[in-house]
């Protein structure tokens, strides 16, 4: 063994950096963090408006590509995952959504005892330093700064007003009492910089001296003594290294990499492991299964006034924006531009929102390319609780081979109906009087695309991932054969090994996944240290009083 530590954490991302900070907080424990990626320095990551760049750069991204999707006409969607300090919190869109209380009620009902809303709310408060959030729902002294953009483009207010004209509510804080409705978006940006978990948690942890970070460390497998995890086998600069954990090994490598490492280490579906040439140590059929994601479309409308961000897409404007950000950390470069969000229920009988809107005052793809029409705006819209499930499976036992990632998007018939409702409800909002001064023709799907068949064709050809994979190491009851970790994040059937990241989510949460992933790291830290969980909250969040009978 090269070195010995109390804890070894695999992955420096949303949960990993959080746990490094909390486990080493009192200075008495030694922690090793293994991260395959490198530095997060530079404007591509730190400038919020540059968000489309790092997730398309192999330097920062694992560059995973999912298998062809039958329901998407055989298209293969990319699956960006952070390969850098801060993990995916360093390449994401910086949109901060806790999820809905109903999500955590489902988690608890699925066997994740102690993960109900009353249990997780104190951890969201502990991690946050909210600027502009709703008291007393939000945290005010945590490491993670959460801010709001200026929302000075008139399209933001017009869109929220249109939603009210359509019969929805405005909400002052979708992360507070009431998620349902439309309002200002929260983002993990502070003083003009991306406030990733590398900035919020990892750097302060490293300054204490008891946390060691190894970059360029490609984890091969977990080392066991019988059925107890005792260390990690990894490569660095082509040389094999071993590190020993006196207390525990903790996987925080994310929804794609954590199940791979478990499978390579002999924990997973026996038949799959045997086919990959891996000896079976502990058969857990759920490892790599239950893969979920959010699928969305870009609903784009031409703008009648030249007020959108399209005017800034030329090289000269980008240079000016970049210079202002570089010298002053201000201007358009200091925002992710997703400054308005909305959450609605798709139909009567749905108890809490199952459709999310991101509003953007420009018509553009996530890779930064704009349509030829020029000025426009768009809604990123999609269903929150797809019934489709996929998987992550190793192809062989080597750490350098990318796994098979199959999402099985839209494989459940209900998903198509949900998506059609997204399009039609969006048209209803955009058709309100508040949008009259701005609303031109539909760029996509197109004003004449109204039938189920036409909308389905648009979805098949244009739906994109929102990059929210989760669920592949599902948390549940110890006697649940499909569960992989128990409610304290311990791998069932193995000692000294935990998983804490988005892979343990029983079901995908309502919104973007960065906030719940950080919360998972916060809560898991108390479980790992054997501390009593934070006291349950007594706050009762909003539930629409007529949800059983009305859609809005």
The catalytic residue positions are 468
CATH 3.50.50.60-classified regions of the chain: 1-144+195-288+470-530
Handedness of CA 18, 20, 26, 27 (dihedral sign): negative
**Cross-strand bridge partners of residue 9:** 33, 250
Q: Phi then psi for 122, rounded to 5 degrees?
A: -60, -30
Q: What is the dihedral of CA 330, 333, 336, 341, to 10 degrees?
A: 60
Q: Phi then psi for 15, rounded to 5 degrees?
A: -85, -35
> Looking at residue 1, what is its pLDDT?
54
- Look at the chain and count its residues: 552
**Residue closest to 543 by CA, chosen among 121, 136, 180:** 180
Its pTM surpasses 0.85: yes
Q: In terms of CATH architecture, what is 1-144+195-288+470-530?
A: 3-Layer(bba) Sandwich (3.50)
Note whether 460 and 420 are within 8 A (CB).
no
Is 84 annotated as contributing to ligand binding?
yes
Alpha helices, DSSP H, located in 55-128: 101-109, 117-127
Note whether 442 and 454 are within 8 A (CB).
no
Contact partners, residue 254, CB within 8 Å, separation at least 6? 11, 13, 81, 82, 87, 88, 469, 501, 502, 503
Give the burial string for 96-114 (b: 16+ CB within 10 Å, else e).
bbbbbbbbbbbbbebbbbe
Question: Which DSSP state fits 94?
Answer: -
**Residue closest to 272 by CA, chosen among 391, 131, 433:** 391
**Residue closest to 357 by CA, chosen among 518, 190, 179:** 179
Alpha helices, DSSP H, located in 98-141: 101-109, 117-127
Is 211 annotated as contributing to ligand binding?
no
**Residue closest to 291 by CA, chosen among 482, 92, 511:** 482
Q: How many CA atoms lie within 13 A of 328 on its CB side?
A: 9
CATH 3.30.410.40-classified regions of the chain: 150-184+295-383+411-462
Question: What's the rounded Cα separation, in Å, for the pair 432 and 489?
Answer: 47
Sort residue 159 into left (φ over 0), alpha (ψ -120 to 50) or beta. alpha
Consecutive 10-residue runs of the chain (552 residues): their mean pLDDT? 91 98 97 98 96 94 98 98 98 98 98 98 98 97 98 98 98 98 98 98 98 98 98 96 98 98 98 98 98 97 97 94 97 98 98 98 80 89 98 98 98 97 98 98 97 98 97 98 98 98 98 98 98 98 98 98
**Cross-strand bridge partners of residue 300:** 378, 444
| Domain 150-184+295-383+411-462 coded CATH 3.30.230.10 | no
Tell me how far CA of residue 39 lies from CA of 84, 199, 338, in angstroms: 6, 12, 26
Q: Phi then psi for 43, rounded to 5 degrees?
A: -70, -25
**Residue closest to 92 by CA, chosen among 355, 406, 353, 469:** 469
Other beta carbons within 10 Å of 546? 9
Contact partners, residue 333, CB within 8 Å, separation at least 6? 47, 48, 49, 50, 192, 321, 322, 324, 325
Question: What's the rounded Cα separation, in Å, for the pair 457 and 341?
Answer: 26
Question: What's the rounded Cα separation, in Å, for the pair 517 and 513?
Answer: 6
- The three-class DSSP label of residue 477 is coil
Note whether 502 and 255 are within 8 A (CB).
yes
Contact partners, residue 431, CB within 8 Å, separation at least 6? 439
Contact partners, residue 116, CB within 8 Å, separation at least 6? 104, 105, 107, 108
Tokens, residue 435: 């949008």
Tokens, residue 101: 């209380």
Residue with tokens 């809107």: 357
């Amino acid at each position: 063994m090269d070195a010995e530590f109390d804890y070894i954490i695999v992955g420096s991302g949303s949960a990993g950096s959080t746990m490094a900070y909390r486990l080493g907080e009192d200075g008495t424990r030694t922690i090793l963090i293994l991260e395959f990626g490198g530095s997060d320095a530079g404007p591509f990551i730190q400038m919020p408006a540059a968000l489309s760049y790092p997730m398309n750069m192999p330097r920062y991204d694992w560059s995973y590509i999912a298998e062809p999707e039958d329901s998407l006409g055989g298209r293969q969607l990319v699956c960006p995952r952070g390969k850098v300090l801060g993990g995916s919190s360093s390449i994401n869109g910086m949109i901060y959504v806790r999820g809905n209380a109903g999500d955590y009620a489902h988690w608890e009902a699925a066997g994740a005892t102690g993960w109900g809303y009353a249990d997780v709310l104190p951890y969201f408060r502990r991690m946050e330093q909210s600027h502009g959030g709703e008291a007393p729902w939000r945290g005010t002294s945590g490491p993670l700064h959460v801010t709001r953009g200026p929302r000075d483009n008139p399209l933001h207010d017009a869109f929220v007003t249109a939603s009210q004209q359509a019969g929805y509510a405005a909400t002052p804080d979708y992360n507070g009492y009431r998620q349902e409705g439309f309002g200002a978006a929260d983002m993990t940006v502070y003083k003009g910089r991306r406030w990733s978990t590398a900035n919020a948690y990892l750097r302060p942890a490293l300054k204490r001296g008891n946390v060691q970070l190894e970059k360029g460390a490609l984890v091969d497998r977990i080392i066991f003594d019988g059925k107890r995890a005792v260390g990690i086998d990894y490569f660095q600069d082509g040389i094999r290294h071993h590190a020993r954990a006196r207390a525990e090994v903790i996987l925080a490598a994310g929804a794609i990499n954590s199940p791979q490492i478990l499978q390579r280490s002999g924990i997973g579906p026996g038949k799959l492991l045997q086919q990959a040439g891996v000896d079976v140590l502990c058969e857990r059929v759920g490892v790599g299964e239950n893969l979920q994601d959010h699928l969305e479309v870009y609903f784009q409308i031409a703008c009648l006034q030249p007020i959108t961000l399209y005017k800034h897409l030329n090289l000269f404007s980008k240079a000016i924006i970049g210079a202002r950000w570089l010298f002053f950390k201000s201007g358009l470069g200091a925002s992710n531009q997703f400054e308005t969000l909305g959450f609605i229920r798709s139909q009567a009988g749905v108890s809490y929102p199952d459709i999310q809107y991101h509003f953007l005052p420009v018509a553009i793809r996530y890779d930064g390319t704009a349509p030829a029409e020029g000025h426009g705006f768009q809604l990123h819209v999609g269903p929150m609780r797809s019934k489709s499930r996929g998987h992550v499976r190793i192809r062989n036992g080597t750490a350098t081979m990318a796994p098979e990632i199959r999402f099985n998007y839209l494989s459940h018939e209900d998903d198509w109906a949900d998506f059609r409702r997204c399009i039609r409800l969006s048209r209803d909002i955009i058709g309100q009087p508040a949008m009259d001064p701005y609303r031109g023709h539909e760029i996509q799907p197109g004003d004449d695309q109204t039938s189920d068949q036409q909308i389905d064709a648009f979805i098949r050809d244009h739906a994109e991932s929102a990059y929210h994979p989760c669920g592949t190491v599902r948390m549940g009851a110890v006697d649940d054969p499909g569960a992989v970790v128990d409610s304290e994040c311990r791998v069932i059937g193995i000692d000294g090994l935990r998983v804490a990241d988005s892979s343990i989510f029983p079901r995908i949460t309502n919104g973007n996944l960065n906030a719940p992933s950080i919360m998972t790291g916060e809560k898991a830290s108390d479980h790992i240290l054997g501390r009593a969980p934070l006291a349950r909250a007594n706050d009762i969040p909003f539930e629409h009083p007529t949800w059983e009978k009305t859609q809005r």
